[in-house]
Amino acid sequence: MKLHEIRDNDGANRSKKRVARGPGSGKGKTAGRGIKGQKSRSGVALGGYEGGQMPLYRRLPKRGFSKPNAKSFAVVNLGQIQGFIDAGKIDGKAELTEDALVASGLVRRKLDGIRLLATGELKSGMTITVTGASKAAIDAVEKAGGKVNLPAARDAAAE
């Protein structure tokens, strides 16, 4: 097969139906829109219109709020860290930083930081440096003989 021999399969391309081009076309005069009525006219927006009744989208209550500058954290559980230590993907004795978590593949990307949560159990005591951590996670790491460093807390204490 050569480049000049390539072509579409039969019936793959169909030409657009040209409406309102005379009675011989099969879609002449009213162009398939029927006779009179709102749908036959141009500029029709029937999406949310309910014939004068209050539309559903206006009857339902507007509630809630989305914070425009909300921070999004990547979440890591203690059980996940322990699983990666057992698998040999993370060194259990070295200090664990956010960059090390990303390099090991436990977290895909840092987003606005990494937050440590207490689901699961950490057996080895280690120093973990993350953006945020729950109180339960900090207690669990300290109980295992480790320490959690939170840079944001250090910055606030320095001021």
Q: Could you write out the DSSP letters of every residue in 74-115? A: EEEEHHHHHHHHHHTSS-SSS-B-HHHHHHHTS-S--BT-EE
- Residue 155 has a pLDDT of 54
Q: pLDDT tens, 49-94?
A: 788 888 888 899 988 888 999 999 999 999 999 999 999 888 888 8
Predicted model pTM: 0.56
Q: pLDDT tens, 1-51?
A: 999 999 999 989 988 889 999 999 889 999 999 999 888 888 777 777 788
Domains and CATH numbers, the chain: 74-158 (3.100.10.10)
- Residue 133 has a pLDDT of 94
- Residue 147 has a pLDDT of 92
- Residue 103 has a pLDDT of 92
Buried b (16+ CB within 10 A) or exposed e, 51-88: eeeeeeeeeeeeeeeeeeeeeebbebbbebbbebbeee
Look at 10-14, 34-38, 145-149, 154-158 and tell me which has the smallest mean pLDDT.
154-158
- Residue 156 has a pLDDT of 52
Placement of tokens 């990666």 in the chain: 84
